[in-house]
Amino acid sequence: MRSNIFSIRKSVYLFIITILFIGLSSWGFLVHRTIHQIAIYSLPEPLQSFFYQDMTYLVANSTRPDTRRNADKTEATKHFIDLEAYGPNAANEMPLNWEAAVKLYSKDSLLKYGWVPYLIIEQLDKLTNAFRSKNKDSILFYAADLGHYIGDAHVPLHTSLNYDGQLTGQKGLHSLWESFVPELRIDQYQLYNPHTAKYLKNPNKAIWMDIRKAATLVPELLAIEKEVSTKFNPETKYKTVMRYGRQTEVYTKEFAEAYANGLGSTVNAQLIASANMIADFWYTAWVNAGKPSFITRDISLNLSAELKSFKLNRLIQDELLLSKKEKPEN
């Protein structure tokens, strides 16, 4: 009996820790799932149909890297890169490939301060090999993981040592920017964009360009939080809630709304940039593998209807956005 009680307590503890890790890890579940879905709509045929027939799997497993952080001690630093740790102009000076970066900074330093751009290239190679082998399970597995890390690379606070605003007295900013704001505003977002997946001749350069863009947004998102805070007092800015048996201070909905207004279209733009890059990397892996063909079931009617809804920016209104459903299928 005592061993059973211990097992139950341990399971609950691990669940709580996992959730806490997720809270400070990356785009919230909503956005990760959204960008994986809309990335599919940017793919050309026959790759689009191949991924579409397993879209529920890709969407549901888009968050898998976050959920395994507690079980895998090497997982955490795969999701970010603290650029300041590598020098004042690291975003523009760091080598584009892993081997050169290791030679310059050491593997230990990279594994300590984050290596998401290099991991993305590693995942691209794994997806390419999966396409070459025509192993459907491996393709879907690596496509979901690759998409997750690309999404993380587009979150500005994943490029900074000040990842939660903790160095500037703005603790809690991480989840506010990447989770709370999009959860409040996604119904107003423009999810459609006319992007068509393109082949990346230099994927290292491509992902670094987007990381640099994300990094340039950090000063602004910090400044906007400071500015919005001047219009609130502690009682209206924060509220105390019980989470996992502990009292925790979180931003109020009113503050999050005001912060979202200050940010304008920034979060929406990064969401779209993430989806576009995911589509480009999936497509590049497929091309590099020789454009293998696959037998797919007839899904043309459903896909056609969704593409029409997507182009009209009506995925949410038409109840087609899987991330808005409570329990996505695995």
What pLDDT, in 10s, does the model give residues 174-229? 999 999 999 999 999 999 999 999 999 999 999 999 999 999 999 999 999 999 99
In a domain, 241, yes or no: yes
What per-residue confidence (pLDDT) applies to 326?
A: 58
CATH number at residue 262: 1.10.575.10
Residues in the chain: 330
Type of residue numbered 216: T
Take residue 317 and report the two structure tokens written for it. 């209104």
Measure the CA–CA gap between 207 and 96, rounded to whole angstroms.
Answer: 9
Domain count of the fold of the chain: 1
Judge whether residue 45 has pLDDT over 90.
yes
Judge whether residue 15 has pLDDT over 70.
no
In DSSP terms, which residues pair with 239 in a beta bridge? Answer: 250
Which stretches of the chain are assigned E, i.e. beta strand? 238-243, 246-251
Q: Which of 137-146, 167-176, 242-251, 321-330 has the lowest mean pLDDT?
A: 321-330
Average pLDDT for residues 150-161, to the nearest whole number?
98
Type of residue numbered 252: T
Nearest to 133 by CA among 295, 289, 256: 289
What pLDDT, in 10s, does the model give residues 308-318? 999 999 999 99
In a domain, 329, yes or no: no
Nearest to 173 by CA among 20, 274, 24: 24
What pLDDT, in 10s, does the model give residues 243-278? 778 888 899 999 999 999 999 999 999 999 999 999
In a domain, 330, yes or no: no
What per-residue confidence (pLDDT) applies to 3?
A: 41
Domain span at residue 164 reads: 2-324
What pLDDT, in 10s, does the model give residues 279-291? 999 999 999 999 9
